[in-house]
Amino acid sequence: MITFCEERKTFKLDTPSSSYVFGIEDDRYLVHYYYGRRIGNEDLSYLARTEGTRPSERLREKNSFLDFAPMEYPVSGTGDYRPAAFEAQREDGTCSAELYYVNHTIEKGKLKLEGLPATFGSEAECETLTVCLEDPILKLKVFLVYSVFEGLDAVVRSLRVENGSKDSNVYITNIMSTCLDIDNDDYKLLSLHGSWARERNIETRSIAHGTQGVGSIRGESSHQEHPFIALCSNNTTQTTGDVYGFSFVYSGNFTASAHLDQFNKVRVLMGINPYHFRWKLEPGEQFTAPEAVMVYSHEGLGHMTRTFHDLYREHLIRSPYRAKERPILINNWEATYFNFDTEKLLSIAKEASKRGIEMLVMDDGWFGVRNDDNSSLGDWYVNEKKLPGGLKPLVDGVNALGLKFGIWMEPEMVSPDSDLYRAHPDWTISVPGRTPTRSRNQLVLDLTRPEVWEHTWNSVKTVLKSANIEYLKWDMNRQLTDLYSAGLPADRQGELLHRYVLAVYRMQETLVTEFPNLLLENCSGGGARFDPGMLYYSPQIWTSDDTDAIERLKIQEGTALVYPLSCMGAHVSDCPNHTVGRVTPFKTRGHVALAGTFGYELDITKISEGDRDLIPTQVADYHKYGDLVRNGDYYRLASFSENGKFDAWMVQKKDGSEILVTFVKGLNEANTKVRFIKLQGLEPGVSYKDETTGRVYGSEVLMYAGLPMDSLNGDFDSKLVHLLRVD
């Protein structure tokens, strides 16, 4: 999978369908040669176009060489004027860098990243290349790490930096986790954008000269932009075209960009956003950068998507719930908001248990004196006016009804109106002497300080040990501002944002270690921290606070472009929808939520009897199709966000024996005929039987002629079609 040609000084990383090739030029520079469809073991150095411009041959033109060569890991200050992957500064203010090849190793398996989420694999599943580079002046060593996995068209990259000086500090001011220099082939840049309640909408744009991309400086991966981009050849579809996908395994500030230069070459960079980032490396210290994943597909967006899905399902998510059935929950947030007590929650649980729902989740409002969102965050003790006797009597009562119990917390936050803030006003991230910016009338605890971290963790642990709590929804409802930590010296204030993310990771690692059977669902005001970093700790993330089924078509389509359906928190909610006011059929709400973790977000005691009677059918559908949805191959068949008329997707079992097609119609139209949906990825020469109608179709007919979508009437109607292979 990974080879080094000693004669040519070239590295070659092969996946089932792709090859990634770079080499050592002039015994010092790492130069990128090729990334694309899998090819043979030929000399590809000519692709760099560096003959005659190498500094050993023409020292007077080193500047021209560095300004053009497709560098594997480019630095700034010595002649490459394109955006750099790495920048560092010495105590004396000098900031130019040069990284020269020293040595490399190729090993089976993959090591963990210290303090960071990362993909994993056994010695039988993956190989890892580590290339050591060194700046002899700065006394810095940079270790570039590449891993490839058996059966997956992905190259995973990370790096660590070591200060080898004995007496000098170095400050890292820019560190990208991956870089790719390739010829521009009329690529389009695909990204995911949005805002609260409309996250991860797909957007494609032409690449112009200069730099374009996405990023976050909000302290989280954000609602607005997402740590993913892709380069797509012109007219790429789900099944055709070249696609280079880049995904960042990180939950804080990021940048992902594409720079088109004067020679029509594209440089892609992805890493920690340099905004407010300056990391001090003392002699002997190391810094590890987060991991970035690169996926190449010559079969369109669909193959890229399924590669990401398989990689993240099998080599990133660690939870015991990764592949198994999760309890169908009902959350009381949209049912009651802050207005509930033990009696009300037990009435919801009682009615839910009759319909086959398996867990009650108590959301915001159970602690302190929390009757609205203006107080009590940080005071993680039970409000006994709402819950007499505390959590245990409620949880025992829910368990007695045959349901599991889950709870909501927002551990990273504090309300100014709280006992915690009154006792420790200095525990927040805030600038001395300045009134801190509030959002949702709350502030952010400085988890980088040991005493704050310990208090916060002990609060979470105490709650979880107080009763039989089997699920935790971990929320984070605001971004970071007023960037200053009372626990850091002046020359380390630029480390705050990254240290904050590391502190959150450490707390969640401690959480899943001490409570290994807990089902953890991460959330951040909906989907503001829906990223691969969070998946390392929780097998599911709340996709969006917008639960409207039609809005969710766009949100879940964009999310599923990168992430497995098994990790998308999706619930059936009440109508008119609380966010957009739309009314959709209860059946359709169930079908859309089935393409995720599946649950309910409503007051089951108040919905219509007709809707209530549909719940057992939806529960049965979840149990019937859940394993297929969680672990099958996902194919996007049609996009409501593109055509404005209908949406369709399918999930196929890995062995091809079973398929579930979901079709959702938009507004009804007069005088239309049956629509045919063309399936994808079927094995030629086999037949499938529609479980409902009994009709048998050949796989070629399903892919090239289509599956009929009839028996639909009214706005926003939907349909499931279950196909079984006929042997």
Q: Residue 200 and residue 222: Cα distance in Å, rounded?
A: 10
List the domains of the chain with CATH numbers: 2-315 (2.70.98.60), 329-424+455-477+508-625 (3.20.20.70), 637-726 (2.60.40.1180)
Omega before 432 cis (within 30°)? Answer: no
Q: What is the 3-state secondary structure (H, E, C) of 373-400?
A: CCCCCCCCCECCCCCCCCHHHHHHHHHH
What residues pair up with 183 in beta bridges, in sequence order? 265
Q: Residue 693 carries which side chain, given as an amino acid letter?
A: T
Number of other CB atoms surrounding residue 246 within 10 Å: 22
Sign of dihedral through CA atoms 85, 222, 114, 146? negative
Task: Give the DSSP H or E segment for 420.
Answer: helix 419-423
The set of residues, in sequence order, having a beta carbon less than 8 Å from that of 325 and lying 6+ positions away, is: 623, 626, 627, 630
User: Tokens standing for 582?
Assistant: 């739309």
Q: Residue 232 and residue 458: Cα distance in Å, rounded?
A: 47
Comparing C-alpha atoms, which of 101, 113, 94 is closest to residue 9? Answer: 101
pLDDT score for 713: 87
User: Tokens standing for 332?
Assistant: 């009381």
Q: Residue 722 and residue 693: Cα distance in Å, rounded?
A: 10
The set of residues, in sequence order, having a beta carbon less than 8 Å from that of 94 and lying 6+ positions away, is: none
Q: Residue 378 and residue 564: Cα distance in Å, rounded?
A: 33
DSSP reduced 3-state for 599? strand
Q: Residue 228 and residue 191: Cα distance in Å, rounded?
A: 6
Name the maximum alpha-carbon separation found in the chain: 83
pLDDT score for 58: 64
Specify the residue for token string 């050591």.
Answer: 132
525 neighbors 476 (Cβ within 8 angstroms): yes
Q: Residue 575 and residue 431: Cα distance in Å, rounded?
A: 44
Backbone angles phi, psi at 575, to 5 degrees: -130, 150
Angstrom distances, CA of residue 726 to CA of 653, 691, 695, 723 = 14, 11, 11, 9
Cα of 221 vs its chain's centroid, Å:
9
Q: Residue 497 and residue 485: Cα distance in Å, rounded?
A: 10
User: Tokens standing for 473?
Assistant: 């929804």
Cα of 173 vs its chain's centroid, Å:
25
- 500 secondary structure, DSSP code: H
Determine how β-strand 687-690 pairs with β-strand 599-601.
unpaired
Q: Residue 573 carries which side chain, given as an amino acid letter?
A: S
User: Tokens standing for 233?
Assistant: 């050849």
What residues pair up with 720 in beta bridges, in sequence order? 662
Question: E-assigned strands of 6-165?
Answer: 10-14, 18-25, 29-37, 86-90, 100-108, 126-135, 140-149, 154-163
Task: Please report how many Cα atoms fall inside a 13 Å half-sphere around the Cα of residue 249, on the Cβ side.
Answer: 30
Residues labelled catalytic: 475, 545
pLDDT score for 391: 98
427 neighbors 414 (Cβ within 8 angstroms): yes
Specify the residue for token string 């503001």.
Answer: 528
Specify the residue for token string 């959002």.
Answer: 439
Q: What is the CA radius of gyration of the chain?
A: 27
Q: Residue 573 and residue 517: Cα distance in Å, rounded?
A: 27
User: Tokens standing for 707?
Assistant: 């599956």
Task: Give the DSSP H or E segment for 408.
Answer: strand 404-409
Comparing C-alpha atoms, which of 577, 580, 588, 582 is closest to residue 611? Answer: 588
688 neighbors 633 (Cβ within 8 angstroms): no
Comparing C-alpha atoms, which of 226, 247, 244, 255 is closest to residue 184? Answer: 244
194 neighbors 224 (Cβ within 8 angstroms): yes
Each residue's pLDDT tens digit, 34-90 = 999 999 999 999 999 998 777 767 678 888 899 999 999 999 999 999 999 999 999
User: Tokens standing for 239?
Assistant: 């099944």
Residue ranges in the chain modelled with pLDDT below 70: 56, 58
Specify the residue for token string 């411009």.
Answer: 53
Comparing C-alpha atoms, which of 253, 305, 316, 272 is closest to residue 540? Answer: 316
Number of other CB atoms surrounding residue 471 within 10 Å: 21
Each residue's pLDDT tens digit, 429-468 = 999 999 999 999 999 999 999 999 999 999 999 999 999 9
Task: Give the DSSP H or E segment for 361.
Answer: strand 359-362
The set of residues, in sequence order, having a beta carbon less than 8 Å from that of 713 and lying 6+ positions away, is: 668
What residues pair up with 92 in beta bridges, in sequence order? none
Q: Residue 521 and residue 369: Cα distance in Å, rounded?
A: 25
What residues pair up with 687 in beta bridges, in sequence order? 698, 726
What residues pair up with 14 in beta bridges, in sequence order? 19
Comparing C-alpha atoms, which of 483, 507, 508 is closest to residue 496? Answer: 483
